[in-house]
Structure 1
Amino acid sequence: MKINDLATLGRFILSPECKSVVILTGAGISVASGIPDFRSPGGMYETLRPELITATEKQRRLMEINPTSVVSTEMFFQTAFPYLEVRRPFILGVRDKIWKPTIAHYFARLLHDNTGKLTRVYTQNIDGLTNAVGLPDDKIVSVHGTISKVACENCGQGMDFDSFCNEVETKIKDIYNPENGPRESQPIRCSSCGKATVKPKTVLFGSSLPADFFELSAQDLPAADLLMVVGTSLVVGPANSLVYSVPQSTIRVVINNEPVGEELGIEYGPEAERDYFAQGNCDDVFLDLINELGWNVDDIIDDLPEYSQTLMRMKGKNQS
């Protein structure tokens, strides 16, 4: 079936031809929650202030040249302070649940509840919002790990998340609002090996992805009838390999503000046979798709962030 619009996509999802749906998500799905995309204006890479970070001059110069080094394996094992200082607001924000899942996050649960056709969500996000919508844990692969689980990067010893957050709050300086924390950062040491290498279980640049990404993607992709690519630039591998690892018969839908993945084989324009581009903000597109599917979302509106609630009321959809 050729997908020409959201109405056609909705009919395909509900049809017997569609039995397995795989979803790949990126930072764009969480923008409506208030979490900036790292690579977009206002994101971490643009706003990084190496001169404020506890590091040597050589390390600061490296961060200026390559902002991703602040979350790299090499930098972390030299000093954990850059990672922890940059991530401090994010870590404490996740603890305090200041961000809520959006309509786009909830789509996966609605798909699972209403059709049983969701095979897996592969999320590149570390914010944990996909886990907060009520999906079974085995339906989610956190490709780059998650902020809300903590362990020692050196020996693997786990640590309670709330206890870790207390350590972050009292030992790691706030480079964005210095009055909020200690004047100088102090090491957070592992209770097992004693090294200052305790951090959230996010995948550092230069480290291997979790084994379940490779095991489950090898199992899921050959049987996928629909791959939904949502809010991702598709520039980070190997997560972006999902788009060319599905069979030729798999329909691929890109939901994003701009075209992505052309170098990976995704085709745009009227000649595209298997690929469909749903351009726009993730929440706008998914709300329209949900309405094409006829699914009611009244029961989740109070759990959504302000942008999503406003969008639903503005469009006047799904009101009983």
Structure 2
Amino acid sequence: MARSKIIKGKDIPGLAEYISSDKCQNIVLMLGAGVSTSAGIPDFRSPETGLYANLARLKLPYPEAVFEINFFRKNPVPFYTLAHELYPGKFRPTITHSFIRLLERHRLLHTCFTQNIDTLERRAGVPDDKIIEAHGSFASQHCIDCRASYDDAEMERQILAKEIPKCTRCKGLVKPDIVFFGENLPDEFIKAIPNVAKADLLIIMGTSLTVHPFAGLAERAGASCPRVLINLDQVGNIGKRPNDIVLLDKCDEVVRKLCRELGWEDELMALWAQTEAKAAWDGEEPEAVSGATEEEATAEDLMGTITDAIGRQLNLED
């Protein structure tokens, strides 16, 4: 069956015109680390600059061991050292996160799939029932042995105090419901996969489309469904279909331009202003980062802090 062309222009004005049309009722999003880097959260997987590349110099079996369930059972300290730096509350949602909230406000958001564990979609005000955290998140936690749930406030207190949470029932290790290597993906993600086929617009932002099965969601959009890639680099096969649009730039920049074209920019910035609040973290103010150099420096500084902190803990154990 031939794929009909329904996007008039493969650019921001063409995308805005389609979003404003009656044909666009159900938007599905796929989010990767690039959505959160302007908040100062480091990308884990970049070959030379990501967190794993930085951890490679430490005395770990391999950099990804910090997120490996069997290693965690033997030594939870590296993960909880990292968790202390990345725990929700330290970071402010980005303009792109507020755009997701804006789509929901305009009753266009069907499902937001995210690879990120930072919960910034929730902090931006996106309803929980619209969010599918494909790799889990810090939003909840359970004992890895008896699976008992653990109190949110106590979890936060212990992570901020750099303590290792233990189950009140069996004394096993407690872990946030982040999917570690060696664990199954959340049932919610598996059940939500068919939602992609319901989309009449799929927007893919800030992801390399290399981690499966998440990356495979892009192929589940209908043959005529427009797919939009907002990313620094072209990835996957986005651009091969007649209705694909590729917008190579930072997510926040594209989102602002798109909202300006839609007449939504003031509404977008008002929603983003609502996210500016004191972080629940040592009295620090969250960063409202706008410049590229500042964004990258913030993430790089945090990667250095995390790597050095884990290194110190590993040396102490020796």
Contact 2:81 2:162 in 1 (8 A): no
- Change in Cα spacing, 1:189 to 1:275, as seen in structure 2 (3 Å) is same
Residues 1:156 and 2:147 aligned together: yes
Structure 2: distance between partners of 1:290 and 1:100: 20
Residue-by-residue CA offset, 1:272-302 (whole Å, 9 max, x unaligned): 5121111100000000001111112342343
> 1:278 is matched by which residue type in structure 2?
L
Deviation at 1:61, TM superposition (A): 5.1
Structure 1: distance between partners of 2:20 and 2:135: 31
Deviation at 1:76, TM superposition (A): 1.9
Percent identity over paired residues: 33
Which aligned pairs between 1:172-187 and structure 2 lie closer than 5 A? 172=163, 187=164
User: 1:318 corresponds to which residue?
Assistant: none
> 2:61 is matched by which residue type in structure 1?
L
Contact 2:141 2:149 in 1 (8 A): yes
Structure 2: distance between partners of 1:36 and 1:29: 11
> 1:229 is matched by which residue type in structure 2?
I
Residues 1:100 and 2:100 aligned together: no
User: 1:267 corresponds to which residue?
Assistant: 239
Deviation at 1:109, TM superposition (A): 1.3
Structure 1: any 5+ residue segments left out of the alignment? 52-59, 173-186, 312-320
- Change in Cα spacing, 1:46 to 1:216, as seen in structure 2 (3 Å) is same
Any idea what SS the aligned residue of 2:242 has? coil
Deviation at 1:217, TM superposition (A): 1.9
Structure 1: distance between partners of 2:90 and 2:79: 21
Structure 2: distance between partners of 1:125 and 1:171: 23
User: 2:187 corresponds to which residue?
Assistant: 211
Deviation at 1:71, TM superposition (A): 0.3
Residues 1:45 and 2:27 aligned together: no
Deviation at 1:78, TM superposition (A): 2.9
> 2:147 is matched by which residue type in structure 1?
G
Residue-by-residue CA offset, 1:125-173 (whole Å, 9 max, x unaligned): 100100112222111111111113221122211222331233234454x
Any idea what SS the aligned residue of 1:307 has? coil
Structure 2: distance between partners of 1:49 and 1:166: 30
Residues 1:191 and 2:168 aligned together: yes
User: 1:294 corresponds to which residue?
Assistant: 263
Aligned equivalent of 2:79, options 72, 80, 83: 83
Q: Size of the alignment, in residue pairs? A: 272
User: 2:246 corresponds to which residue?
Assistant: 277
Structure 2: distance between partners of 1:156 and 1:245: 33
Which aligned pairs between 1:3-18 and structure 2 lie closer than 5 A? 3-18=9-24
Residue-by-residue CA offset, 1:215-243 (whole Å, 9 max, x unaligned): 1221x122211110000111111111110
> 1:100 is matched by which residue type in structure 2?
R
Contact 2:29 2:203 in 1 (8 A): yes
Deviation at 1:246, TM superposition (A): 1.4
User: 1:184 corresponds to which residue?
Assistant: none
User: 2:120 corresponds to which residue?
Assistant: 129
Contact 1:84 1:199 in 2 (8 A): no
Contact 1:171 1:188 in 2 (8 A): no
- Change in Cα spacing, 1:44 to 1:193, as seen in structure 2 (3 Å) is same
User: 1:69 corresponds to which residue?
Assistant: 65
Contact 2:205 2:251 in 1 (8 A): yes
Structure 1: distance between partners of 2:28 and 2:135: 17
Aligned equivalent of 1:306, options 282, 288, 298: 288
Deviation at 1:26, TM superposition (A): 0.7
**TM-score w.r.t. structure 1 length?**
0.79
